[in-house]
Chain A
């Protein structure tokens, strides 16, 4: 008997995430740090393993170096398997031609060989830009129960935001009768989460078909799903009601980080029944000094706090020196905030040095926007970075 997997997951992680500006200058969006110790991709990967899906293809294209290194052999997610496990799927040179991934559908099409190797009954398509906890096994059960050819996870969004999403118009039984990509006047507020389960044979068929269509933009939302619906295939929605956030913008990334704070957070990463796995930093416990003050914050291992930290998220090995102040901010690993420096309402990438008495951003109430500092840069002593600025090189002041 041929060995097989019931369900194989394909994770689209090739996006540039250009609306994250300086944070994705050198790394792919799914590799962006989140929640003091995680990266965005930890969420779909952890969801996979927690849902019993142990075969995941990760499709990378844009700046894949750091993402590839982070995923490694998949061991942190228990995805180092002799049959299955996690695999990085980069664009490759084939005998007849070689090409970059041209769209989400084309990316999956180019990796048909990978999927077929596992002879799956179902294929789960995921994207690497959302923060959420979801049991895909339940969605798969629903897909099997309805006998659908394609099931699309969907969540209710506020009507005023609905035109930013792919909107599903559904019948009472959840079956989809219309699919509208970013409609100006949405008929419903049921948004596609970009999570699809296909019956494998149908997926192969429509990917082949889409590939032949010269007019197609090779995109699931714009091309493949409408084509299936037009052909009368059975398509169902699967309603999801939990926390789900697209962290594709600076403000969404900031907000989603803040959603972790408090004793009853909007989004809980400490649920022992649904652990979020990640590559762990090698660092001793964080140290809060005699002068340190930490209020309503999340702090990762290896941090040293001598100053004040309020309403903030600090990744591993961040140092906040004596007299320095960090408020309403997300600070990624290895960043040092020196004596007397102040950081307000900012997102600061890895290994940034903010020299003494410099000021970054201003208080949330008066700021023009979130201030963003890209990785590895230095803000000179006494320099002032205005609120809402996005900086990606050393900053000496105006």
Chain B
């Protein structure tokens, strides 16, 4: 139990990786896997590790996030002491809301100062995984680390900003690169935007950074001090889906159709999310559904294959939906055909329309659009 840690989730910090899906919501509130939002995985991992206080750092477009989080009760985080604490940007006439992670951290020093926990878990809500945060904190303590950065081994990366780590046999980071070139097939240790740091140490870092006029947490603090700070890398070996582009969103969505992936993500511990009391889904006579995930409140009269259906999706008679992700309340009329399509919330596809994209470039229909 990581009883002595507080979580901080940055909901906007990776927004520009997926402008399509984050134009009217924070990246952390992007819908995923039929009934979740990305932040559910971060929150559930924190809660399942015994953390009962989570600060949620927002910047803009956080209406849907606030609607989703509510009081935090779905995550057992409606608490008298701690629980969910929303941290909207602090700004006045002269200061604009934060532009980078350092400024975001500076904005929450008040929150950090008033907590009692020893550690802070800094978590960007852009990854889907089931990480045992308590184990990361244990590793952090045993390594006597100042900072522990969680990484996974991969051979590809697609992001505006990423950090790779080199570690010695004890896990100590002895090399830290920002946006290095990655050759085809080369294995890298990619930092997955989950970090544990002593709370007071973090406050010192922030204060020094402000006094020194730094603007980059990665370049001016981590990278520059890699030999003087005790930075450790915690290797995460489980399933990790970094939602860093629309095509990756699509690719990882499709991976949810794999039973092994689902069992790892949802099997052992619960992933909590907001519930809307939708009725169970209905499959009408003549419906054909194969290799698909269907959330509640759906009404299926047509054919659905290799697809993810969110809450309240309707697929009309004679329509064929293949290899697609249909978000909440998407309405597909009759005799329409979709292949490799992502529809955002409340999209309406009229009768007999045909839409197709391809795996690398799924056809995206933005929120509320009628085609």
Residues of chain A having any CB pair with chain B under 8 Å:
35-37, 75-76, 260-263, 269-270, 275-278, 280, 282-290, 292-301, 304
B275 at the interface (CB under 8 A from A): yes
CB distance from B78 to the nearest CB of A (A): 10
Find the B residue at minimum CB distance from A310: B285
In Å, the complex CA distance between A284 and B299 comes to 18
Instruction: Decide if A295 touches B283 in the complex (CB within 8 Å).
Output: yes
Q: A284-B33, A300-B296, A301-B295 are in contact. Are A294 and B73 (CB under 8 A)?
A: no
CB distance from A359 to the nearest CB of B (A): 24
Instruction: Decide if B33 touches A37 in the complex (CB within 8 Å).
Output: no
Residue among A288, A295, A299 making CB contact with B280, cutoff 8 Å: A299
Residue among B286, B287, B295 making CB contact with A285, cutoff 8 Å: B295
CB distance from A233 to the nearest CB of B (A): 39
B240 at the interface (CB under 8 A from A): no
CB distance from A212 to the nearest CB of B (A): 45
CB distance from A263 to the nearest CB of B (A): 5
Find the B residue at minimum CB distance from A297: B283
Instruction: Decide if B293 touches A284 in the complex (CB within 8 Å).
Output: yes
Find the B residue at minimum CB distance from A301: B296
In Å, the complex CA distance between A165 and B295 comes to 40
Chain B residues positioned under 8 Å from A301 (CB to CB): 35, 280, 295-296
Chain B residues positioned under 8 Å from A299 (CB to CB): 280-281, 283, 294
B214 at the interface (CB under 8 A from A): no
Query: CB within 8 Å of A: which of B262-308?
Result: 262, 265-266, 270-272, 275, 277-297, 299, 301, 308
Instruction: Decide if A290 touches B290 in the complex (CB within 8 Å).
Output: yes
Instruction: Decide if B283 touches A287 in the complex (CB within 8 Å).
Output: no
CB distance from B259 to the nearest CB of A (A): 7
Instruction: Decide if A283 touches B266 in the complex (CB within 8 Å).
Output: yes
In Å, the complex CA distance between A356 and B26 comes to 47
Chain A residues positioned under 8 Å from B7 (CB to CB): none
B21 at the interface (CB under 8 A from A): no
Find the A residue at minimum CB distance from B295: A285
In Å, the complex CA distance between A275 and B278 comes to 8
Find the A residue at minimum CB distance from B34: A285
Instruction: Decide if B285 touches A288 in the complex (CB within 8 Å).
Output: no
In Å, the complex CA distance between A276 and B277 comes to 7
CB distance from A265 to the nearest CB of B (A): 8
Chain B residues positioned under 8 Å from A262 (CB to CB): 282, 284-285
In Å, the complex CA distance between A293 and B259 comes to 17
In Å, the complex CA distance between A304 and B299 comes to 18
What is the total number of residues of chain B having a CB less than 8 Å from a CB of chain A?
Answer: 38
Instruction: Decide if A35 touches B33 in the complex (CB within 8 Å).
Output: no
| Sample of 29 A–B contacts (CB below 8 Å) | A37-B279, A37-B296, A261-B282, A262-B285, A263-B284, A270-B278, A270-B282, A275-B277, A282-B272, A283-B266, A284-B33, A284-B35, A284-B271, A285-B33, A285-B34, A285-B293, A285-B308, A286-B295, A287-B257, A287-B262, A287-B292, A288-B291, A290-B290, A295-B285, A295-B287, A297-B283, A298-B282, A300-B281, A301-B295
- Interface code B347-362, partner A: CB below 8 Å = 1, 0 otherwise? 0000000000000000
Instruction: Decide if B280 touches A298 in the complex (CB within 8 Å).
Output: yes
A-B residue pair count with CB separations less than 8 angstroms: 102
Query: Which of B33, B266, B277, B301 has most chain A Cβ within 10 Å?
Result: B277
In Å, the complex CA distance between A47 and B259 comes to 39
Instruction: Decide if A276 touches B293 in the complex (CB within 8 Å).
Output: no
* Overall SS of chain A's interface: loop
In Å, the complex CA distance between A261 and B299 comes to 11
Instruction: Decide if B278 touches A285 in the complex (CB within 8 Å).
Output: no
Find the A residue at minimum CB distance from B308: A285
In Å, the complex CA distance between A285 and B266 comes to 10
Chain B residues positioned under 8 Å from A261 (CB to CB): 282
Instruction: Decide if A284 touches B281 in the complex (CB within 8 Å).
Output: no
Instruction: Decide if B270 touches A37 in the complex (CB within 8 Å).
Output: no
Instruction: Decide if B272 touches A296 in the complex (CB within 8 Å).
Output: no
In Å, the complex CA distance between A294 and B301 comes to 11
Instruction: Decide if B295 touches A277 in the complex (CB within 8 Å).
Output: no
Chain B residues positioned under 8 Å from A76 (CB to CB): 277
B309 at the interface (CB under 8 A from A): yes
Q: A284-B34, A285-B309, A287-B257 are in contact. Are A294 and B278 (CB under 8 A)?
A: no
Q: A270-B278, A277-B277 are in contact. Are A294 and B287 (CB under 8 A)?
A: yes
Instruction: Decide if B280 touches A37 in the complex (CB within 8 Å).
Output: yes
CB distance from B265 to the nearest CB of A (A): 8
Q: A270-B278, A286-B294 are in contact. Are A292 and B284 (CB under 8 A)?
A: no
Instruction: Decide if A296 touches B292 in the complex (CB within 8 Å).
Output: no
- Listed from nearest, the 7 A-B pairs whose CB atoms lie closest are A285-B34, A36-B280, A270-B279, A280-B275, A285-B295, A296-B285, A285-B293
In Å, the complex CA distance between A261 and B290 comes to 20
Give me 10 other A-B pairs in contact (C-beta within 8 A), A269-B279, A296-B284 excluded: A263-B301, A283-B266, A284-B33, A284-B265, A284-B271, A285-B35, A285-B308, A287-B257, A287-B292, A301-B35
Chain A residues positioned under 8 Å from B285 (CB to CB): 262, 295-296
Chain B residues positioned under 8 Å from A287 (CB to CB): 257, 259, 262, 292-294
Residue among A35, A269, A286, A290 making CB contact with B291, cutoff 8 Å: A290
Chain A residues positioned under 8 Å from B259 (CB to CB): 287, 304
Chain A residues positioned under 8 Å from B265 (CB to CB): 284
Query: CB within 8 Å of A: which of B303-359?
Result: 308-309
Chain A residues positioned under 8 Å from B257 (CB to CB): 287
Chain B residues positioned under 8 Å from A36 (CB to CB): 280
In Å, the complex CA distance between A196 and B286 comes to 43
CB distance from A350 to the nearest CB of B (A): 16
Instruction: Decide if A276 touches B35 in the complex (CB within 8 Å).
Output: no
Instruction: Decide if A289 touches B291 in the complex (CB within 8 Å).
Output: yes
Q: A288-B289, A288-B291, A301-B295 are in contact. Are A278 and B277 (CB under 8 A)?
A: yes
Instruction: Decide if A288 touches B290 in the complex (CB within 8 Å).
Output: yes
Instruction: Decide if B292 touches A300 in the complex (CB within 8 Å).
Output: no
Instruction: Decide if B262 touches A298 in the complex (CB within 8 Å).
Output: no
Chain B residues positioned under 8 Å from A270 (CB to CB): 278-279, 282, 297, 299
Instruction: Decide if A288 touches B292 in the complex (CB within 8 Å).
Output: yes
Find the A residue at minimum CB distance from B44: A282
Find the A residue at minimum CB distance from B304: A288
In Å, the complex CA distance between A285 and B294 comes to 5
Chain A residues positioned under 8 Å from B289 (CB to CB): 288, 292, 294
In Å, the complex CA distance between A270 and B312 comes to 10
CB distance from B281 to the nearest CB of A (A): 6
Instruction: Decide if B301 touches A286 in the complex (CB within 8 Å).
Output: no
In Å, the complex CA distance between A283 and B34 comes to 11
Instruction: Decide if B283 touches A296 in the complex (CB within 8 Å).
Output: yes
In Å, the complex CA distance between A292 and B291 comes to 8
CB distance from A314 to the nearest CB of B (A): 8
Instruction: Decide if A282 touches B270 in the complex (CB within 8 Å).
Output: yes
Query: Which of A285, A296, A297, A304 has most chain B Cβ within 10 Å?
Result: A285
Chain A residues positioned under 8 Å from B279 (CB to CB): 35, 37, 269-270, 276
